[in-house]
Amino acid sequence: MTIAKLKAKNQLTIPNSVVKKLNLRPNELFVIDIKDNYIKLTPVEIKPRK
């Protein structure tokens, strides 16, 4: 089980082991889904308009 902490301004602290496992980068955008007792984070890729 991974325990995360909600910081100031609704920032979520994700453990370093999870960040490495998911290859996350700073300032990455996510879709957040809450199902039962789980929070699902899905990275979102935004492509610039042409």
Query: Per-domain residue ranges for the chain?
Result: 25-50
* Predicted TM-score of the model (pTM): 0.48
Instruction: Please identify which residue in the block is written with the tokens 């957040």.
Output: 32
**Nearby residues of 33 by Cβ (< 8 Å), 6 or more positions away:** 39, 40, 42
Question: What are residue 10's phi and psi, to 5 degrees?
Answer: 60, 35
- Give pLDDT, residue 4: 63
CA 50 to centroid of chain Cα atoms: 28
- Give pLDDT, residue 39: 80
Is 9 a residue whose pLDDT tops 80?
A: no
pLDDT digits (tens, 9 = 90+) for 27-45: 777 787 888 888 887 877 7
